[in-house]
Each structure stands twice: as C-alpha cells, then as structure tokens.
Structure 1
Amino acid sequence: MTIRDRGKLKWAPAAFLPEYTNMLRDLDTDYYRQQKPIIDEFQFEEFDQRICYAMEYNFAVKITKCVDGFNYEIVGRIHYVDPIRKEVRLKTEADEVERVKMSDIIAVEVRE
C-alpha cells in the first residue's frame, strides 16, 4: 500500500487566509527592493549630454530608471525631451512611446 502525500501543497498557506498570502507577497517584494542611488548634479549633466548626443545623431539609448525601489531598463531612440514636464520620451523598437521622468533616471548609455 502506497502513501499518498500532498507534497508541497501541505506547506502552502490556507486559502481562507487572504491577508496572510498578501503579507507574504508583500514581504517577498520588499526583500528585493533597493534604495535609489544618490545622483549629483554632475551626473545629471552627463546624462543630459548623452541624451542630447543620442538625439542629435539618432543613436539608440539604454536608460535605467528606478521606480519604487526597482530598476527597469528601457532601450529606444530619443523622441522628445520635455523640459516643462521634466521627462524624456523614448520610441522603443515596438513603436511605443515610453515616458521617463528625469528624476527617475539613474543611468544613460548610448548605443552607436
């Protein structure tokens, strides 16, 4: 006679405790959250020069942005720089326009 075991299912939280599962999910996301690096004005100026260079010669750019403690990379071509809203508009390879706030940018890399 073989023993039928539920395997990992027996260690899973009960389905009648949604607060517990939400707390575990939040705990998991908070574990991987990073602190936003401090960017000084010289780095902002360097980012601005790289963006202007890429926009002038129509080069692709990889922008790394930090939102809510997580880093995201966007690759595309600079479409427009909006000084009033303080954002950069990128046209990605999928012909979508991504808006990135200047305050969220932590790295800019020009791809020639």
Structure 2
Amino acid sequence: MVNFSFLMIMCSLIMIFCGLSSFISYHKHLLNSLLSLEFMMLGIFWLLSLQMSVLGSEIYFSLFFLTLVVCEGALGLSLLVLIVRSHGNDYFKSFSVLVC
C-alpha cells in the first residue's frame, strides 16, 4: 500500500515538472509562459506546505512564500498589459529590443 504523504509529494513534483515542461515547450505567447510559471509555483507551494505541516509550527514561511508568488503574478500581469498595449499582442516573435 502506498503511503498517502508519498502520493501527495509525488503529485506536487509532477505538477512542478509539468509546469517546467510547458514553460520550455510552449513559449509562443507570454501569457502561456506566465501561466506555466504560476503552475510551477503552485506545485512548489503545495510541496512546501506539505513539508512544513510535518514540522508543525513553521506554517508562516509558506504564507510568506505565497505572498511573494502573488506579487510575482501581479507583476507579470502588469507587464503583460503593458506589452499588449504597446505592441498589440503578446507573441514573443513580435518583441524587439530596438523597439522598446
């Protein structure tokens, strides 16, 4: 019989690697890249909360990590809005260093 905590850890690791593979392979749009980064952060948060629940009293570190992830997501979405307003789309091929 498989231990339930081992199953939860493997599920979170699968989430991290699925997010990493989608970040590497589907990089046509900026929004796809941001969503795969958020999926990886969700898997890391799940793994971190599982490990911190074993320790007991260190749950505040996972809340601090979640706060940083939310700030990263808000920054990514604001950059996405800025790029869509300036370039008209979020294709990586339409970005140029010279246009800025």
* Structure with greater proportional helix content: 2
The two structures have a TM-score, normalised by structure 2, of 0.27
* Structure with greater proportional strand content: 1
Between Structure 1 and Structure 2, whose CA radius of gyration is higher? 1
The two structures have a TM-score, normalised by structure 1, of 0.24
